[in-house]
């Protein structure tokens, strides 16, 4: 059955990531820790965009809510890391509930604009409350706050190996949760809403409530990514609330394949390295152009939408492996 | 007999257009009711008001003894009003089975087993004769089969009132014959409200016919009396359908 193949594939991906830790050089180990955390963000985004068909242009606010919810409670209140993580996720979930109640009154382009505007409000708020957030400059979490004692074991999240496995644990948990959701009846209703909202309503489903649940879960997952980012990499700054962090998850998901469970990871990996390489190459080739990586992002987005709308896993599913979730 | 569905002074305006204008309408349990009328008479607007897809400008609607005027559409579906769309409205990327399962699963959500869902889906597919195409994507079905899939989805909701909006539109003669048989089968379990242009289908299926014109009810009665009604002949039968 498909479910067997699906579970084996997902476990294999997780195992592969675990094994990578042993072979990757230090730099790429750090990159992959970051990618796994950001892929969680992409998976959260995918649940709403890919599966439910709601295009948000404001997901940076949920990532930032997690980032600040976790970072500020550690920095100002001295909370322990697990508690701070929960605070981050909680902030994002509550924010998502409030935003969902308002933004879901709109559809289509209006939904994009409304979510984008709310995200801008949060971004500006992080600058406005600079005395706590230190705005653009941001906060570096001091090393002693990044230690955790759990069941008699000590974890130091400034240690690269600990960080890698912490990122992997979060990634694996969210990947399996996503797989569970999209295979569940709830997941099928989300897909049904994406495919034909009016019909879904006339089958007796409360479309608004289902969409709201999708926004909250998507927001909470994005928040978990933000919280983990703050705690693992020890930095909290308003860049992460800016509009580019709303565009990036869209790009990652499109590249890897919208409404595929593994697409977000692949998209994040490829885009991260593309930006990484191209910045170097461009800086060397045309040093006086001062080419921003956002240019690469923009071009990639246009090319994807025009020529490759299903993304990598979407294309694989359409042609070779219909069982991909 | 106490009506299953009842509407009083029901109106709906679109700007200055009175699409449905002070209509009193009721459907008795167990009957097959046809609503006919020329294009633009307000038939689809009327049933859209009844199933809650649009809100009335004024008037009240009752179903099974309850006032449902302000009840949202998805709750009305759960109460037993199923609507099949005039323009085929299915989930093209899902299989036939999954389409029907979406309709069936909601009614079975609370603690019933997968087996009950499966049985319910298979039952609905069997009813309309799509069992062999269970794993075909809905988009790959012929038009006639897509219409049958619509009906299967309606049946899987186990409605007390099944509203069919122009179900035979675009079907071949053979398919229409099968459709008539299907509705005769369905009516054993549920009340049917049918919007239909094909007069042959209407005359063969309906217990009573409601004729609409310009948002109002022009006449109502048994097929025989409608056929003999001079006003109806003038407004409808005498023109478009000959």
What residues 197-226 of chain A have any CB closer than 8 A to a CB of chain B?
198-207
Q: Does B163 contact chain A (CB < 8 Å)?
A: no
A195 touches chain B (CB under 8 A): yes
Q: Could B85 and A192 be called an inter-chain contact, meaning their C-beta atoms sit closer than 8 Å?
A: no
Instruction: Please count the other Cβ atoms lying within 10 Å of the Cβ belonging to residue A52.
Output: 25
Q: Domain tally for chain A?
A: 1
Residue of B nearest to A207 (CA): B74
Contact state of A199 with B105 under an 8 Å Cβ cutoff: no
Q: How far is B176 from chain A (nearest CA, A)?
A: 24
Does residue A310 fall inside a structural domain?
no
H-type alpha helices, chain B: 43-51, 73-79, 96-107, 114-128, 143-156, 173-186, 199-205, 223-228, 230-232
pLDDT at A306: 85
The partner residue sitting opposite A195, judged by closest CB among B83, B93, B101, is B93
Question: Quick check: helix, strand or coil at residue A65?
Answer: helix
* Residue A201: closest C-alpha in chain B: B74
Of B74, B83, B153, the CB nearest to A205: B74
Beta bridge partners of residue B32, listed in sequence order = B192
Give A61's contacts (C-beta < 8 A, 6+ positions apart): A95, A99, A115, A118, A119, A122, A123, A241, A246
**A15: exposed, middle or buried (C-beta count within 10 Å: 0-12, 13-18, 19+)?**
exposed
Minimum Cα–Cα distance from B86: chain A residue: A199
Q: The pTM is what?
A: 0.88
Let me know if B109 is exposed, middle or buried by CB neighbors in 10 A (0-12, 13-18, 19+): exposed
Residue A227 covered by a domain:
yes
Q: Compare CB distances from A185 to B94, B103, B109 and report the shortest one's residue.
A: B109
Report d(CA B21, CA A249) in Å as an integer: 50
- All residues of chain A having their beta carbon less than 8 Å from the beta carbon of residue B92 are 195
Please say whether the beta carbons of A264 and A311 come within 8 A: no
Backbone angles phi and psi of A283, in degrees to 5: -65, -35
Residues of chain A with pLDDT under 50: none
Predicted pLDDT at B110: 47
Residue of B74, B83, B136 to mutate, testing the A interface (most A Cβ within 10 Å of its Cβ): B74
What is the distance between the alpha carbons of residues A78 and A72, in angstroms, rounded to a whole number?
9
CA angle B64–B65–B66, rounded 5-degree value: 95
Domain boundaries, chain B: 1-79+196-242
For residue B97, which of B112, B77, B117 has the smallest C-alpha distance?
Answer: B117
Residue of B nearest to A188 (CA): B102
pLDDT at B242: 41
d(CA A42, CA A85) in angstroms, rounded, equals 18
Q: In this complex, do A206 and B74 lie within 8 Å of one another by their Cβ atoms?
A: yes
Contact residues, chain B, for A192 at CB < 8 Å: 91, 94, 102
Check CB contact under 8 Å for B91 and A192. Answer: yes
> What ipTM describes this predicted complex?
0.86
Mapped onto helix, strand or coil, the DSSP state of residue B155 is helix
| Structural domain contains residue A50 | yes
The closest of A95, A139, A98, A99 to A233, measured between CA atoms, is A139
- Between CA A289 and CA A283 the distance in angstroms is 8
Q: Give me the DSSP letters along B160-204.
A: SEEEEESTTTT--HHHHHHHHHHHHHHTTTSEEEEE-S-HHHHHH
Instruction: For chain A, say whether B93 makes contact (Cβ under 8 Å).
Output: yes
Q: How many CB pairs under 8 A join A and B?
A: 56
pLDDT < 70 regions, chain B: 106-115, 236-242
Cβ distance of A196 and B89 shorter than 8 Å: yes
Pick from A188, A196, A203: CB nearest B77:
A203
Domain spanning B1-79+196-242: CATH superfamily: P-loop containing nucleotide triphosphate hydrolases (3.40.50.300)
C-alpha closest to that of B128 among B182, B74, B176: B182
For B83, the closest of A195, A202, A206 (CB atoms) is A202
Q: List the domain range (segments joined by +) for residue A147.
A: 2-242
């Amino acid at each position: 059955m498909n479910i067997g193949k699906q579970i084996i594939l997902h476990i294999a991906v997780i195992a592969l990531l675990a094994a990578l830790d042993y072979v990757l050089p230090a730099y790429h180990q750090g990159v992959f820790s970051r990618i796994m955390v950001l892929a969680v963000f992409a998976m959260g985004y995918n649940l709403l965009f890919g599966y439910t068909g709601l295009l948000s242009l404001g997901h940076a606010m949920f990532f930032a809510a997690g980032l600040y919810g976790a970072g500020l409670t550690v920095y100002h209140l001295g909370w322990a890391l697990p508690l701070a993580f929960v605070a981050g996720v909680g902030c994002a979930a509550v924010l998502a509930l409030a935003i969902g109640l308002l933004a879901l009154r709109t559809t289509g382009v209006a939904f994009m604009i409304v979510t984008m505007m709310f995200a801008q409000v949060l971004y500006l708020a992080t600058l406005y409350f600079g005395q706590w957030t230190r705005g653009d400059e941001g906060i570096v979490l001091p090393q002693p706050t990044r230690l955790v004692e759990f069941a008699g074991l000590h974890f130091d999240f400034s240690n690269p190996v600990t960080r890698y496995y912490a990122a992997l644990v979060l990634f694996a948990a969210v990947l399996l949760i996503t797989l569970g959701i999209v295979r569940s009846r709830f997941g099928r209703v989300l897909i049904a809403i994406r495919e034909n909202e009016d019909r879904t309503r006339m089958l007796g489903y409360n479309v608004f409530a289902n969409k709201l649940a999708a926004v909250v879960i998507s927001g909470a997952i994005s928040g978990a990514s933000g919280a983990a980012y703050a705690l693992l990499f020890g930095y909290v700054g308003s860049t992460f609330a800016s509009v580019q962090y709303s565009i990036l998850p869209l790009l990652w998901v499109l590249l890897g394949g919208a409404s595929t469970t593994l697409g977000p990871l692949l998209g994040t990996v490829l885009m991260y390295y593309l930006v990484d390489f191209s910045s170097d190459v461009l800086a060397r080739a045309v040093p006086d152009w001062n080419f921003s990586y956002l240019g690469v992002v923009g071009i990639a987005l246009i090319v994807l939408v025009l020529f490759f709308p299903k993304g990598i896993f979407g294309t694989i599913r359409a042609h070779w492996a219909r069982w991909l979730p | 007999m106490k009506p299953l569905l009842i509407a009083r002074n029901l109106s709906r305006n679109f700007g200055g257009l009175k699409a449905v204008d002070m209509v009193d309408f009721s459907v008795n349990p167990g009957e097959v009711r046809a609503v006919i009328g020329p294009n633009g008479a307000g038939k689809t607007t009327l049933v859209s008001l009844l199933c809650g897809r649009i809100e009335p400008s004024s008037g009240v609607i009752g179903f099974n003894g309850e006032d449902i005027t302000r009840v949202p559409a998805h709750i009305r579906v759960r109460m037993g009003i199923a609507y099949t769309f005039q323009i085929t409205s299915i989930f093209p990327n899902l299989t036939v089975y999954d389409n029907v399962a979406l309709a069936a699963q909601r009614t079975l959500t609370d603690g019933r087993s997968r087996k009950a869902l499966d049985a319910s889906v298979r039952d609905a597919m069997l009813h309309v004769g799509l069992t062999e195409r269970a794993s075909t994507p809905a988009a790959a079905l012929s038009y006639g089969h897509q219409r049958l899939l619509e009906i299967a989805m309606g049946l899987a909701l186990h409605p007390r009132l099944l509203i069919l909006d122009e179900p035979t539109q675009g079907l071949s003669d053979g398919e229409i014959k099968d459709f008539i048989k299907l509705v005769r089968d369905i009516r054993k379990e549920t009340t049917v409200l049918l919007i239909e242009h094909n007069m042959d289908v209407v005359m063969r299926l309906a217990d009573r016919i409601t004729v609409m014109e310009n948002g109002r009810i022009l006449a109502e009665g048994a097929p025989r009396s409608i056929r003999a009604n001079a006003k109806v002949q003038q407004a409808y039968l005498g023109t478009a359908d000959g």
